[in-house]
Amino acid sequence: MAYQGILQRYGSLLGLPDHTQQVTLLEGGTPLVPVPGLVEKLGGDFELFVKFEGLNPTGSFKDRGMTAAVSEAVGRGAEAVICASTGNTAASAAAYAARAGLRAIVLIPEGKVAAGKLAGAIVYGAQVIQVQGSFDDALALVVEITQRTPLALVNSLNPYRLEGQKSAAFEICDTLGAAPDWLCLPVGNAGNITAYWMGFEQYHALKKTGLPQLLGAQAAGAAPLVLGHPVEQPETIATAIRIGRPARGEQALQAAQESRGRILAVSDDEILAAQQMLAGEGLWVEPASAAGLAGLKAEVEAGNLDPRGKRIVVVCTGHGLKDPDVITHSMEKPRVIPAEMGALVDVIKVG
């Protein structure tokens, strides 16, 4: 049977209520891409894969949680969904709401959302509201209004989001035939690392697959889980993880600890360097998505993580296409030439 999305494939493992009515865009089933070139750059002698979540229908892993949350909301008769977002949740909520014929309202921090994500949310027909404040301020508003009105909350405080996001852990185990030794990923609101750990634990209990150690990476300017306190004015180029008060922070810390892993901070420069390394393998991811690799690289180089003989998965959470500004600002502008052979030969210097 043709692929029908994660609810169809893993529904019995996802802890969704009986009233759930599947709303799908055929999310999930993303590739686990081997990256031997990066293994070499990091000293060799291990296996490294990228779980390329940018290939989901709206360009990020958020679609895994959104198919679950919107399917549940539709099944109980919700007519509108609302979320706060650094961008990808907004685009995903808007798309799945459109698919289901629901109204979508999304709150984003003013001026801090990548162009492609904002465009997506608008194109899919959501009501987009810019808040003069941070993501955390927007989330506080959303939580309060959903307590007073029938609007369905689809942030990762919604437990069904995490249920859907567990599917990525299942896919990795099913593809590898085992759990990886390490799983490296960015941490923002901390729902994803929490969901991965739930998924790996569930497969461990059910199928006797092993448990990976988790390496979570926060941006240095937005690293509350590393600092041990909220960050009032989070700042980073990696806008998807520009969060100072993670909703699932406690659970994320616990997951990292139980896995005998950790959560660390990486600088924006390290994030951009990792983004470039991935692009050098043909994988263009948005800055936040490169944080997992940046964390792995930093730990390997510091001698804190010995990769030898290990199987490591880096989760690249979203596609680079949605956030082109970061790259184009720092890039050399392409050369302009007259439409003449002589000029072309001069510029490309071949043969």
Ligand X SMILES: *Cc1c(COP(=O)(O)O)cnc(C)c1O
Which parts of 296-315 interact with ligand X (CB under 6 A)?
none
Residue of minimal CB distance from ligand X? 318
Which lies closer to ligand X via its Cβ, residue 71 or residue 317?
Answer: 317
What's the closest the beta carbon of residue 97 comes to ligand X, in angstroms?
A: 17
Strand order from edge to edge, sheet including 182-186: 32-34, 47-52, 311-316, 182-186, 213-219, 262-266
| Partners of residue 285 on adjacent β-strands | 319
Contact between 292 and ligand X per CB under 6 A = no
Give the count of beta carbons closer than 10 Å to the beta carbon of residue 344.
12
Q: What is the DSSP track for 72-117?
A: HHHHTT--EEEEE-SSHHHHHHHHHHHHHT-EEEEEEETT-S-HHH
Which parts of 59-88 interact with ligand X (CB under 6 A)?
60, 62, 88
What's the closest the beta carbon of residue 65 comes to ligand X, in angstroms?
A: 8
Contact between 58 and ligand X per CB under 6 A = no
C-alpha angle 245-161-48 in degrees, rounded to nearest 5: 85
Give the count of beta carbons closer than 10 Å to the beta carbon of residue 4.
14
For ligand X, the binding residue among 157, 313, 317, 326 (CB under 6 A) is 317
What's the closest the beta carbon of residue 63 comes to ligand X, in angstroms?
A: 10
What's the closest the beta carbon of residue 171 comes to ligand X, in angstroms?
A: 17
- Only one of the segments 137-145, 262-270, 286-294, 324-332 lies at the binding site for ligand X (rule: CB under 6 A); that segment is 286-294
Tokens (6 digits) for 5: 């999305």
- Only one of the segments 173-181, 186-194, 268-276, 330-338 lies at the binding site for ligand X (rule: CB under 6 A); that segment is 186-194
Which lies closer to ligand X via its Cβ, residue 189 or residue 259?
Answer: 189
Identify the H or E element spanning 182: strand 182-186
- Only one of the segments 108-116, 173-181, 188-196, 201-209 lies at the binding site for ligand X (rule: CB under 6 A); that segment is 188-196
Which parts of 100-139 interact with ligand X (CB under 6 A)?
none
| Partners of residue 104 on adjacent β-strands | 81
Which lies closer to ligand X via its Cβ, residue 5 or residue 318?
Answer: 318
Residue 86 · residue 241 · CB < 8 Å: yes
Residue 70 · residue 102 · CB < 8 Å: yes
Site track 17-46 with ligand X (rule: CB under 6 A), x = hit = ------------------------------
Tell me whether strands 32-34 and 47-52 are parallel, antiparallel or unpaired. antiparallel
What's the closest the beta carbon of residue 31 comes to ligand X, in angstroms?
A: 17
Residue 250 half-sphere exposure toward CB, CA atoms < 13 A: 1
- Only one of the segments 4-12, 44-52, 183-191, 301-309 lies at the binding site for ligand X (rule: CB under 6 A); that segment is 183-191
What's the closest the beta carbon of residue 286 comes to ligand X, in angstroms?
A: 5
Backbone angles phi, psi at 213, to 5 degrees: -85, 140
Contact between 189 and ligand X per CB under 6 A = yes
Which lies closer to ligand X via its Cβ, residue 39 or residue 55?
Answer: 55
Tokens (6 digits) for 234: 């989070």
- Only one of the segments 28-36, 134-142, 167-175, 184-192 lies at the binding site for ligand X (rule: CB under 6 A); that segment is 184-192
Contact between 240 and ligand X per CB under 6 A = yes
Q: What is the DSSP track for 214-225?
A: EEEEEETTB-HH
Q: What is the DSSP track for 15-47?
A: ---TT-----S------EEE-HHHHHHTTSSSE
What's the closest the beta carbon of residue 231 comes to ligand X, in angstroms?
A: 14
Q: Which residues bind ligand X (CB under 6 A)?
A: 60, 62, 88, 156, 186-192, 240-241, 286, 288-289, 317-318
